[in-house]
Structure 1
Amino acid sequence: MPRSSPQKFGFVGLGNMGLPMAHNLEKFLASEGLPPLTLWNRSPSKLPPASKTIAHADSLKALAKDCDVVLTSLAHDEAAREVYKDLFEGARESDGTIFVDTSTLYPTTCGELEREASKIARTAYLCSPVFGPPPLAKDAKLIFVLSGDTFAKRHVEKFLVPSMGRRLIDVGNNVERAAAFKLCGNGMIASIIELLAEQYTLADQTGVGADLLFEFVREFLPAPSFLGYSKKILENDFEGRTGFLVSGGLKDVTHVRNLAQSVGATLPALDAAHRHLVTALAHGGSGLDWSAMVAGPRLAAGLQPFTGRKDHPRDTGFGARTDEESGKGGLEPESVGGIKEVQNF
């Protein structure tokens, strides 16, 4: 079993999510008088400088050997398998290691990793994917979904919330359940974006105007995801560094569809989201936020994918919406009444 009093922490994977999470954990450990957070990243250039609160590991094996708890934030299943192969080698030479995997992986991948960890004395693998984009990671407002060995969970949960998140949802001992939980959540979010993309495009094409329809969303569906992704689509703000990349969204949506197929479930809204993520990717949107899936409905309506205009010389996904870009064609805007058009949001 892992040590009863974890003291030294490591963090692997400093991408859009991992870097702010590691920074918050670093501050928390320092406030508790614990040793510096040890970091490893595939690209060393992304590592913050070593300091009194940050150390660098020479290798994954050395990090796992030296740390009591190792958190990982990895892009996909293949990377997770590769990274954990080296981490488990280090764990075999340690006095006990708890691994906390915050990546979004397919459930059976997490099951495989847990079985490998169980072969190593005093080692535990916990599946703990997180909900929230990079800005929430920076503000320590993520939601952690935690599953795995009860003993190990009790010893790490206080280091997850409130240092990096605002809430922790414990879903039991089966690590595959947390992975499936995260995929269900991401599938729901992707379907919401698809719904918004379709309806805002329709509103513009009929002359209602997407800005005006946003007033309905704000009054009747004021959930953070509805409002946040509405603004991205309305403002054509698909900045990938502050969101979730199209490539990552496509990976997750593919996982959700495979999971649904494995249990005989149908997900027509998600099937459409998958098609439109592929469309965004095909039009150069790999580095954009996954709300760029609006490219699908827009192209079908004869509009540019990332500006929503009929003609635009440079459609990169980082355009700004102008006053003229709402209420294109169709019904005259003046014929639609009853709700005052939004000027500021």
Structure 2
Amino acid sequence: MSSSLHADVPYSRPATPGPHASQVGFVGLGAMGYFMARNLATRRPQVAANTNPPLLVWNRTSGKAEKLLKEVGHDRIRIAHSIEQIVLECDIIISCLANDAIVKSTYELYAKALTNKPPTKHKIFIESSTIFPTLAGELDTLLSASPHTNLLTCPVFGTPAVADAAQLLIILSGDYRSKQEAAYILVPAIGRKAIDLGENLEKAPTFKLIGNSLILGTLEVLAEGFTLGHKAGISSELVFNLVKEILPAPGTVRYAERIARDDFDGTVGFAVDGGIKDASHIRRLTAELNAPMPVMDIAHQHLITARAINIMKKQQGHPAFETLDWSSIAAGSRVAAGLDPFDGNQANIEPKLED
């Protein structure tokens, strides 16, 4: 293994049982999960002389699973007939799901399968969804009734494009030995680096919400800055160039470009529903910890505004986005300033200055 990979994984390789081919299952082939599963199937290093068995996948609707199978082939992917099959056949089960309610109901199915047929060897459940931290304890309680099971919370940072490129930042909390096994499967197959948040399962989800608060706060400030430029008669292109000069972080530049181009298509980004869910989690966390974060209140309102306007446009038969990206937060600032929510070009008119 290269020294760079050692730096990217904060653990030594598991000594026992040693490098071995594990059956891995993946549940949830949404915007992020599809690319994570594909890369896990195609990029995971072979272990010694063994060949990794095909990744076993399950999705609520079969179309995504069939598309993935067609893309990578039968030697890399098998489609499970049920969640129970995933639980019974797999050593490691990774979930990537839309929201807390779906995560909870999925783990109830996991627990039922484990109860019906208790495992005789170690199983690791890796939850990569963005969840409220206390849900981790509920999931652990569901699994802990069965022997030989461990839960890891494992949220990831990155957009679908980042997941496509296998450059996600992976956050891990939970049992140390399980984290060792998981990290060497996940890096570099789906992510560029793993960060250890300790054994408390709530820490990784909390860390993910902190990170998303930084991203969402940046989005809100960008949206307000571009809107001010519109009102002042300064083009989006000029404001975008300014962002590249003074705030050259890749993520910031990427979102600034989406706002500047009115590129609010959520089918190739992070859907606004997910942004609203994350903003709600962050606001709840700040309330419980008495750590005010006023920008999250504003961001939450502006995301809801964008979604409401998009729904209204659809109902009226006007051109609209099928799914909004969370960069559409700009709609909230624009409407408040009397501008078109999704068309910045209508605003770039030199203002008349009073004498």
The reply to whether TM is greater than 0.5 is yes
- Residue 327 of structure 1, CA deviation: 5.0
Structure 1 residues 88 and 211, CA, compared in 2 at 3 Å: closer, same or farther?
same
Q: Match of 2:325?
A: 289
Q: Which amino acid aligns with 1:295?
A: A
1:21-57, Cα deviation, whole Å (9 max, x unpaired): 0000001347441101000000112113361211111
**SS of alignment partner, residue 202 of structure 2:** helix
Native 8 Å contact 1:30 1:36 kept in 2: no
8 Å Cα contact 1:6-1:68 kept in structure 2:
no
In structure 2, which of residues 31, 37, 52 is the aligned counterpart of residue 34 of structure 1?
Answer: 52
Match for 2:24: what amino acid?
F
Give me the whole-angstrom Cα distance separating, in 1, the residues matched to 2:218 and 2:180: 34
Partner of 1:320: none
Q: 1:66 aligns with which of 86, 89, 94?
A: 89
Matched-pair contact (CA < 8 Å) for 1:140–1:163: yes
Identity, in percent, stands at 40
Following the alignment from structure 1 to structure 2, what is the Cα–Cα distance between the partners of residues 109 and 262? 14
Counterpart amino acid of 1:63?
A: I
1:303 pairs with 310, 328, 339, which one?
339
Return the match for 1:24 from 39, 47, 70. 39
Cα deviation for residue 111 of structure 1 reads: 1.6
**TM-score between both structures, scaled by the size of structure 2:** 0.85
Would the alpha carbon gap of residues 255 and 6 (structure 1) be closer, same or farther in structure 2, given more than 3 Å must change?
A: farther
Matched, 1:244 2:270: yes
Correspondence for 1:46:
64
The size of the alignment, in residue pairs, is 316
2:45 touches 2:189 (CA, 8 Å); kept in 1? no
C-alpha spacing 1:328/1:107, structure 2 compared with 1 (3 Å)? farther
1:81 deviates by 0.6
Task: Show the 5 A alignment for 1:138-287.
Answer: 138-284=164-310, 287=323
Q: Render the CA deviation track for 1:160-217: whole Å, top value 9, x for unaligned.
A: 1100001111110011010000001111111100000001010111123232122221
**Structure 2 contact 21–52 (Cα < 8 Å) conserved:** no
Match of 1:339 in 2: none
TM superposition shift of 1:269 = 1.0
Cα displacement (A) at 1:251: 0.2
Deviation string, structure 1 residues 108-148 (Cα, Å, up to 9, x no partner): 01121122222210001100000000011000000000010
CA–CA separation in structure 2 for the residues paired with 1:221 and 1:73: 31
- What are the superposed Cα offsets for residues 83-111 of structure 1, whole Å, 9 maximum, x if unpaired? 11112233342333101111000000112
1:120 to 146, 150, 156: 146
Which stretches of structure 1, 4 residues or longer, exceed 3 Å deviation after superposition? Answer: 3-6, 29-32, 325-328
- Letter of the 2:107 partner, please give it: Y
**With structure 1 as the length reference, what TM-score do the two structures score?**
0.87
1:221-245 residue CA offsets vs partner (Å, 9 max, x unmatched): 1012210110000001111122110
| Distance in 2 (alpha carbons) for counterparts of 1:22 and 1:86 | 21
In the alignment, the residues of structure 2 paired with residue 188 and residue 149 of structure 1 have an alpha-carbon distance, to the nearest angstrom, of 28
Q: 2:106, 2:272 → 1: CA distance? A: 23
| 3-state DSSP of counterpart to 2:220 | helix
Structure-2 change in CA distance of 1:187 and 1:35 (3 Å): same
**CA separation in 2, counterparts of 1:225 and 1:91?**
41
| Aligned partner of residue 120 in structure 1, secondary structure | coil
Q: Which moved more, 1:48-57 or 1:299-308?
A: 48-57
Q: Is 171-180 or 44-53 further displaced after alignment? A: 44-53
Is 1:111 the counterpart of 2:137? The answer is yes
| Whole-Å separation in 1 of the counterparts to 2:185 and 2:102 | 25
1:206–1:330 contact (8 Å) kept in structure 2:
no
Instruction: Tell me, yes or no, if structure 1 residue 91 matches structure 2 residue 114.
Output: yes
Identify unmatched segments of 5+ residues in structure 2. Answer: 1-15, 312-321
Secondary structure of the corresponding residue to residue 57 of structure 2: strand
CA RMSD across the alignment = 1.8
Relative to structure 1, the CA distance from residue 331 to residue 214 in structure 2 (aligned partners, 3 Å threshold; closer, same or farther) is: farther
CA distance in 2, matches of 1:129, 1:72: 10
Q: Distance in 2 between matches of 1:30 and 1:199?
A: 45
Q: Given the superposition, is the C-alpha separation of residues 330 and 90 from structure 1 closer, same or farther in structure 2, using an over 3 Å criterion?
A: farther
How far residue 156 of structure 1 moved from its aligned partner, in angstroms, is: 1.3
The worse-fitting range, judged by mean Cα deviation, of 142-151 and 276-285 is: 276-285
Shift of 1:326: 3.4
Residue 328 (structure 1) shift: 4.5
Q: Secondary structure at the match of 2:31?
A: coil
- Kept in 2, the 8 Å contact 1:303–1:309? The answer is no
State the one-letter code of the partner of 1:34: N
